[in-house]
Structure 1
Amino acid sequence: MTTMNVSLPDELKTFVDERVTHDGYGSTSEYVRDLIRRDRERGHLRDLVLEGANSGPGVVADAAYFKALRQRISTEG
């Protein structure tokens, strides 16, 4: 594991300390790692949304679509 040092103004340090205590993190490092993971996940979700938005129109999800989906699931299961 690699170590990083981060300088924070007192106001942000107090905020982080409060989040660590309030949210039950074991340490400041654990809190920061969680923030980084969440940011990475948000970026991944954003990429997926953009990919979907750029993929063109999808199929119509009407009653017939869901009926066919249920049939496919019951025969594959």
Structure 2
Amino acid sequence: MTELTISVPPALKQWIDERVAQGLYADANDFVRALLRRDQEQAAEDDAWLKAMIDEGLASKVLDQEPEAVLDAIIAEDPDLA
């Protein structure tokens, strides 16, 4: 396993110590590894979502309306967006 040394401010060190003390993680290293794994998973989910949106956009038809008209129609459907 490769070693990595990081510096954190006291408030973050205290947060890490509290999480470890709660028994959620074996030690600070375990906590940081868990955060990194979650970040990797989230990045993969974000990539998949973006790819799906691109694919959806490419598969959709071209609208005859101007973009402003499309936005106005969307806003008219949901007044909370206005």
Report TM bin, short chain. 0.5 to 0.7
For residues 48-69 of structure 1, the C-alpha deviation after alignment (integer angstroms, 9 at most, x for no partner) is 00011111268xxxxxxxxxxx
For residues 13-65 of structure 1, the C-alpha deviation after alignment (integer angstroms, 9 at most, x for no partner) is 0011111222521111001000000000000000000011111268xxxxxxx
1:30 aligns with 2:30: yes
Residue 11 of structure 1: how far off its partner (Å): 0.9
Pair 22,34 (structure 1): closer, same or farther in 2 beyond 3 Å: same
Q: Which 4+ runs in 1 deviate beyond 6 A?
A: none
Count of residues in Structure 1 that have an aligned counterpart in Structure 2: 58
Q: Which runs of 5+ in 2 are unaligned?
A: 60-82
Q: Distance in 1 between matches of 2:50 and 2:7?
A: 34
Residue 8 of structure 1: aligned partner: 8
Q: Distance in 2 between matches of 1:19 and 1:50?
A: 33
Q: Distance in 1 between matches of 2:32 and 2:38?
A: 10
Q: Distance in 2 between matches of 1:20 and 1:28?
A: 7
User: Counterparts in 2 of 1:38-53, with a 5 A limit?
Assistant: 38-53=38-53
Task: Determine which structure has greater relative contact order: mean sequence separation of CA pairs < 8 Å that are 6+ residues apart, divided by chain length.
Answer: 1
* One-letter amino acid of the counterpart of residue 9, structure 1: P
State TM-score, norm by structure 2: 0.64
Higher mean C-alpha displacement, 47-56 vs 21-30: 21-30
Q: CA RMSD in A?
A: 1.6
